[in-house]
């Protein structure tokens, strides 16, 4: 998240001086935080923030710095520039249509980086209770000079760590007014929660430098960077699932998707040697040398002759794009069943959010599947973590995200909730809501217009921020009596219809925090929504509208009759 008003250079320098003079080492806090960071620290203040060349960590890294302190408190040490690089690599900065860059922070970043050791609890909770239980809270604030900023609350009386300078102070002393909260939980480092994966992996690699063990989940790709071999030296992956990557091509720069792998997976590669007609494994140090020039990158240098120059075939393995994006997708045959969530669920023509929505599945429906693969990550609605698996509905070419299904494909990763029994069957489960379809089609026709036709009237509404009136009209509601977006959100939340994770169902209402009015749009599929802005009807990412915090989604009220 960013500061909407740029901080003057003199003020940044003042904050930096306070931090440097106030403490030579990380300060203590009431609830045991040992590591305190400043976004204006001279070691990283000028580094580019996210993917926006116009922003720096000093000017816009308040939320980033708060999350780094939070992760360190929970035993997952990382500094602001390290977290900035990680979030860029993992695609955890969303697109901002105002800046035209991916520079909008994803609050699931601590969950991803900690591999689930830190949990994101959302925006609702009791601050005093959290502090009493030793859980710092990230708080959104503003002052007369800063329209949006984030700090870390560490005490019941408003004690905070302010990333502007990394100093301990209070909300009152800084004149901060609270606008919202971000709640997290985990086991503090002070209670023995220190990661041992990195240390254990380092020891293991010293014992056997030819082991490749995945340090965090993600897609891997293989690229040929050098080849002195003659003939067709096939290169491939032996485990955990064997298949050839480069069967007969040794073109420098050629690359292939290896697959998606979860944390802790050991990969073994092979080469079918040209001269000896033997198969050598990457674990065989006599024929393969493995170097790790940086985190998440391995270079495999092969020897298929006897001169020991280890330059016959050189491959780089590194994190890269998903198979769904590269078009090099591996589909695994399977035979299993699962049960969908309690909401209507989108189904698509292929395994990924970039594929067309072709219908919906009724709530709590048992489905049979005959294949699975890995595609776009979707937040699991039960676990709150990203799930990259997609399941193919048996006997069709229709796909559904694993994140909205109770039940796991055999041997797939990651694991999730166990399927529960249901009285519904697969037959007739797939449908498209005509009401939602008509609403979406109407909403898409209004994009870039300065107003929209009112139901039951020959008048046109000039948007003027009347976003609730817009979505109501999409569903054919009467022109009068439409509440504000905030009232609409409270109504749907009151009946338990709001979800703050998972992809919205087709035609769902998507809600945002915006003062006393709130903001609402309509989900049109493919990760996009349409809503009425101040001057025009806009298309935007369903969970991103300007700098407004995303609250979640819900079906439309049942009383909205739908357009004819």
* pLDDT tens per residue across span 294-310: 777 888 988 876 667 78
CA distance 510 to 503: 10
- Reported confidence tier of residue 421, pLDDT bands at 50, 70, 90: very low
CA distance 554 to 564: 22
For residues 322 and 357, membership in a common domain is answered with no
Task: Look up tokens 């023509």; give the residue.
Answer: 349
For residues 176 and 34, membership in a common domain is answered with yes
Give the burial string for 238-272 (b: 16+ CB within 10 Å, else e).
eeeeeeebbeeebeeeebbbbbbbeeebebbbbbb
For residues 214 and 78, membership in a common domain is answered with no
CB 261 within 8 A of CB 214: yes
DSSP state of 209: T
What is the reported pLDDT for 200? Answer: 40
For residues 230 and 160, membership in a common domain is answered with no
What is the reported pLDDT for 206? Answer: 43
* pLDDT tens per residue across span 485-506: 999 999 999 888 898 877 788 8
| Residues of the chain above pLDDT 70, percent | 76
Q: State yes or no: pLDDT of 546 exceeds 80.
A: yes
- Of 7-11, 226-230, 369-373, 491-495, which gets the smallest average pLDDT? 7-11
What is the reported pLDDT for 459? Answer: 59
What is the reported pLDDT for 481? Answer: 58
What is the reported pLDDT for 37? Answer: 94
Mean pLDDT of the region 10-36: 46
Supply the angle between the helices 485-494 and 467-474 in degrees, to the nearest 10. Answer: 60
Domain finish residue from 398, 431, 464: 431
User: What is the domain extent for residue 387?
Assistant: 332-431
CB 150 within 8 A of CB 140: yes
For residues 439 and 517, membership in a common domain is answered with yes
Task: Write the CATH number for 27.
Answer: 3.90.70
CA distance 84 to 102: 12
Q: Is residue 2 part of a domain?
A: no
The residues that bridge with 243 in the sheet, in sequence order, are: 237
Mean pLDDT of the region 391-399: 87
What is the reported pLDDT for 214? Answer: 81
Please, which residues have CB within 8 angstroms of residue 181's CB and are 6 or more apart in sequence?
123, 124, 125, 127, 137, 138, 139, 140
Q: Is residue 560 part of a domain?
A: no
Mean pLDDT of the region 324-339: 73
CA distance 406 to 337: 9
Q: State yes or no: pLDDT of 564 exceeds 60.
A: yes
For residues 421 and 438, membership in a common domain is answered with no
Q: Is residue 411 part of a domain?
A: yes
- Note the pTM of the prediction, 2 decimals: 0.38
- Of 194-203, 375-384, 393-402, 550-559, which gets the smallest average pLDDT? 194-203
What is the reported pLDDT for 171? Answer: 93
Task: Write the CATH number for 284.
Answer: 2.60.120.400
Average pLDDT, the chain: 77
Mean pLDDT of the region 22-45: 69
CB 45 within 8 A of CB 57: yes
Which position has the higher pLDDT, 129 or 1? 129
- Reported confidence tier of residue 63, pLDDT bands at 50, 70, 90: very high
- Reported confidence tier of residue 8, pLDDT bands at 50, 70, 90: very low
For residues 477 and 411, membership in a common domain is answered with no
For residues 22 and 168, membership in a common domain is answered with yes
| Residues of the chain above pLDDT 90, percent | 19
- Of 122-136, 247-261, 278-292, 327-341, which gets the smallest average pLDDT? 247-261
Task: Write the CATH number for 440.
Answer: 3.90.1720.10
- Which range among 91-105, 160-174, 258-272, 340-354 has the greatest average pLDDT? 160-174
CB 532 within 8 A of CB 465: yes
What is the reported pLDDT for 262? Answer: 67
Q: State yes or no: pLDDT of 32 exceeds 90.
A: no
Give CB contacts under 8 A, 24+ apart, made by 243-247: 243/330, 246/222
What is the reported pLDDT for 173? Answer: 92
Q: State yes or no: pLDDT of 542 exceeds 70.
A: yes
For residues 161 and 20, membership in a common domain is answered with yes
- Reported confidence tier of residue 510, pLDDT bands at 50, 70, 90: very high
Domain finish residue from 431, 466, 497: 431
Q: Is residue 502 part of a domain?
A: yes
For residues 183 and 201, membership in a common domain is answered with no
- Reported confidence tier of residue 62, pLDDT bands at 50, 70, 90: very high
What is the reported pLDDT for 169? Answer: 92
Domain count, the chain: 4
Q: Is residue 497 part of a domain?
A: yes
CA distance 33 to 25: 12
Q: Is residue 58 part of a domain?
A: yes
CA distance 131 to 161: 14
For residues 229 and 338, membership in a common domain is answered with no
- Reported confidence tier of residue 217, pLDDT bands at 50, 70, 90: low
* Sign, Cα dihedral of 344, 346, 347, 351: negative
For residues 235 and 251, membership in a common domain is answered with yes
Please, which residues have CB within 8 angstroms of residue 173's CB and are 6 or more apart in sequence?
none
Q: State yes or no: pLDDT of 137 exceeds 90.
A: yes
What is the reported pLDDT for 328? Answer: 56
Q: Is residue 564 part of a domain?
A: no
- At 388, list the tokens: 């990259």
Mean pLDDT of the region 179-186: 90
What is the reported pLDDT for 455? Answer: 64
Q: Is residue 302 part of a domain?
A: yes
* pLDDT tens per residue across span 410-420: 766 544 443 33
Which position has the higher pLDDT, 456 or 258? 258
Burial of 471 (0-12, 13-18, 19+ CB in 10 A): buried
- Reported confidence tier of residue 248, pLDDT bands at 50, 70, 90: low
Domain finish residue from 191, 207, 228: 191
């Amino acid at each position: 998240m960013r500061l909407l008003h740029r901080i003057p250079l003199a003020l940044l320098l003042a904050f930096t001086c306070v931090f440097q003079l106030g403490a030579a080492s990380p300060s203590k806090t009431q609830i045991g935080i040992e590591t305190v960071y400043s976004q204006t620290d001279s070691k990283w203040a000028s580094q580019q923030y996210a993917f926006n060349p116009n922003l720096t960590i000093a000017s816009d890294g308040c939320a980033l710095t708060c999350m780094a302190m939070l992760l360190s408190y929970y035993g997952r040490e990382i500094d602001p520039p390290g977290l900035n690089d990680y979030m860029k690599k993992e695609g955890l900065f969303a697109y901002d249509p105002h800046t035209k860059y991916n520079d909008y922070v994803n609050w699931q970043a601590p969950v991803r980086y900690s591999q689930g050791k830190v949990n994101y609890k959302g925006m609702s909770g009791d601050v005093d209770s959290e502090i009493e239980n030793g859980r710092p809270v990230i708080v959104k604030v503003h002052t007369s000079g800063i329209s949006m900023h984030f700090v870390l609350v560490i005490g019941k009386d408003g004690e905070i760590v302010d990333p502007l300078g990394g100093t301990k102070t209070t909300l009152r002393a800084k004149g901060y007014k609270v606008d919202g909260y971000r709640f997290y939980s985990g086991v503090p480092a002070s209670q023995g929660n220190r990661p041992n994966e990195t240390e254990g992996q380092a020891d293991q690699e010293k014992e056997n430098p030819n082991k490749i063990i995945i340090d965090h989940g993600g897609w891997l790709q293989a690229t040929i960077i050098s080849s002195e071999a003659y003939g067709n030296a096939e290169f491939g992956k032996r485990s955990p699932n064997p298949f050839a990557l480069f069967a007969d091509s040794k073109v420098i720069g050629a690359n292939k998707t290896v697959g998606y792998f979860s944390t802790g997976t050991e990969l073994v590669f092979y080469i079918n040697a040209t001269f000896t007609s033997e198969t050598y494994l990457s674990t065989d140090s006599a024929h393969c040398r493995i170097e790790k020039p940086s985190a998440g990158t391995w270079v495999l240098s092969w020897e298929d002759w006897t001169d020991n120059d280890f330059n016959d075939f050189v491959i780089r393995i590194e994190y890269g794009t998903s198979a769904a994006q590269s078009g090099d997708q591996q589909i695994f045959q399977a035979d299993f069943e699962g049960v969908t969530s309690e909401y209507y669920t989108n189904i698509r023509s292929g395994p990924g959010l970039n594929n067309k929505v072709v219908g919906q599945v009724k709530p709590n429906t048992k489905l049979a599947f005959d294949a699975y693969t890995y595609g776009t990550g979707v937040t699991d609605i039960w676990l709150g973590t990203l799930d990259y698996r997609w399941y193919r509905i048996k006997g069709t070419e229709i796909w559904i995200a694993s994140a909205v299904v109770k039940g796991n494909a055999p041997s797939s990763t990651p694991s999730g909730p166990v399927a529960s029994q249901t009285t519904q069957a697969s037959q007739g489960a797939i449908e498209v809501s005509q009401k939602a379809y008509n609403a979406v089609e109407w909403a898409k026709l209004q994009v870039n217009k300065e107003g929209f036709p009112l139901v039951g009237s020959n008048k046109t509404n000039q948007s003027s921020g009347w976003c609730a009136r817009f979505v109501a009209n999409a569903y054919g509601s009467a022109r009068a009596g439409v509440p504000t977006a905030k009232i609409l959100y409270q109504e749907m939340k009151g009946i338990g219809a709001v979800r703050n994770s998972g992809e919205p169902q087709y035609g769902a209402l998507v809600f945002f925090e915006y003062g006393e009015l709130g903001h609402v749009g309509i989900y049109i599929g493919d990760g996009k929504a349409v809503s009425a802005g101040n001057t025009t009807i806009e298309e935007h990412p369903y969970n991103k509208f300007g700098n407004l915090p995303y609250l979640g989604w819900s079906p439309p009220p049942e009383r909205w009759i739908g357009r004819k």
